[in-house]
């Protein structure tokens, strides 16, 4: 599994970024892809669902892909299997202004999106193996 190299102080700086596209956001209340975004919403973040199978999640319009979102996105938070990450990152690179790609614990990529791949060359920070909710709770 990929280990994240960001320090706590670096991750804490990401908290200033409030617009988060959650790829794979779920309607299923028992899944982390539902309760983590809900936690972020409850803590003042603007969460934008990205799920091609849902038109709306948690009362918010859902988009089929990151590149379809018209609003500003600071962070792309990925809740998809590792084999889907490369395609998600490549799609996210079509959208200007993204600063962070956050892969939830257990999710990683071995393709071009990995490590010093496309996201890194575009100036986008990549956070690996860290749960957004846990990081906010731990460092807040």
pLDDT tens, position by position, 7-29: 778 878 888 999 999 999 999 99
Give the tens place of pLDDT for each residue, 76-125: 999 999 899 999 999 999 999 999 998 876 665 554 444 444 445 468 88
Total-model pTM: 0.83
Asked if residues 70 and 61 have their Cβ atoms less than 8 Å apart, the reply is no
* Residue 108 near residue 52 (C-beta atoms within 8 A): no
Q: Locate the domains of the chain by residue range.
A: 8-139
Which CATH architecture fits 8-139? 3-Layer(aba) Sandwich (3.40)
47 close to 36: Cβ distance less than 8 angstroms: no
Residues 37-54 have pLDDT tens digits of 999 999 999 999 999 999
């Amino acid at each position: 599994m990929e280990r994240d190299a960001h320090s706590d102080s670096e991750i804490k700086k990401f908290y200033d970024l409030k617009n988060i596209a959650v790829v794979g956001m779920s309607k299923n209340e028992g899944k982390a892809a539902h309760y983590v975004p809900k936690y972020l919403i409850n803590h003042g973040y603007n969460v934008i669902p990205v799920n091609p199978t849902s038109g709306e999640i948690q009362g918010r319009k859902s988009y089929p892909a990151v590149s379809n979102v018209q609003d500003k996105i600071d962070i792309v938070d990925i809740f998809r299997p590792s084999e889907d990450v490369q395609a998600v990152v490549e799609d996210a690179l079509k959208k200007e202004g993204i600063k962070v790609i956050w892969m939830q614990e257990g999710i990683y990529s071995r393709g071009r999106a990995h490590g010093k791949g496309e996201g890194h060359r575009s100036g986008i920070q990549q956070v690996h193996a860290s749960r957004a909710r846990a990081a906010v709770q731990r460092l807040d």
